[in-house]
Structure 1
Amino acid sequence: MLPNRMQLSRTAEEQLKKLKGYTGVTPNVSARIAFFRSIESDFKYDPVTEYATNGSLTLDKITWLGRTQEVTELLLKHTYPDLEGKQLQQAWAAHVEHGIASLRTQKTLFGLIERAKTKF
């Protein structure tokens, strides 16, 4: 499963922080929304390509995932059955970065909620 300590790319982290500034939604909560938006799309992480998880915000997985931890890990294992540990974390981080791309322009909490409800 996922490692106990996880981080994102600098790019994704910056986008999550900007979104927090606009909407007040913490990075861990918006990362959950972004992950599920990405899973619902056709995006697939390519394990051959090394994904940089070089952000400075390193949190334990219970903080990143909250009550969605079990379903997040199950979805990742279902989607990427051959990945473990660090590679699985990279897949999660890639999905968060992909999903946040469609949310990062929201300037209000209401806008974020409306955008989260729409399809990619």
Structure 2
Amino acid sequence: MLPNRMNLTRTTEEQLKKLKGYTGITPNVSARIAFFRSIESDFRYQGQEAKLDGSLVLDKYTWLGETSDVTELVLKMYYPELDTKGYQQAWAAHVEDGIAAIRNHRNIANLSNTL
């Protein structure tokens, strides 16, 4: 369903890297947290295509880890009409939405208290 190689927008990627600098959480793990924060907040992808121009192109398993199956099932449940490209766009939109809520935490203790 999701492609084997995925990336995000440059802005989202920079925010993930900035969060890594503050907390030590790698971008792939913080992207997972951001995705599920976005799902919990009832954000819904409206089909607006973003330019996924980030330089951090990782394989699906690195981005999603053990949450791979759950992530794909959630996307399929919310967006049954999308194709592979659409699912990547939806995933990227959710990560972008979710990172906004956690990007400014200055340490891991502060972030964990928020979650």
- So what's the TM-score if we normalise by structure 2? 0.98
Using the alignment, how far apart are the partners of 1:72 and 1:114 within structure 2? 23
Alignment-derived partner of residue 45 in structure 2: 45
Aligned CA RMSD, in angstroms, stands at 0.6
Q: How many residues in Structure 1 have an aligned counterpart in Structure 2?
A: 115
> The residue matched to 2:101 in structure 1 has which SS?
coil
Alignment-derived partner of residue 104 in structure 1: 103
Per-residue deviation at 1:58? Answer: 0.3
Between the two proteins, what is the percent identity of the paired residues?
A: 66
Alignment-derived partner of residue 11 in structure 1: 11
The runs of 4+ residues in structure 1 deviating greater than 6 Å are none
Using the alignment, how far apart are the partners of 1:79 and 1:93 within structure 2? 14
Gaps of 5+ in 2: none
Using the alignment, how far apart are the partners of 1:35 and 1:10 within structure 2? 16
Letter in 1 for 2:41: S
Alignment-derived partner of residue 80 in structure 2: 81
- So what's the TM-score if we normalise by structure 1? 0.94
Per-residue deviation at 1:46? Answer: 1.1
Using the alignment, how far apart are the partners of 2:110 and 2:51 within structure 1? 29
> The residue matched to 1:2 in structure 2 has which SS?
coil
Using the alignment, how far apart are the partners of 1:52 and 1:45 within structure 2? 15
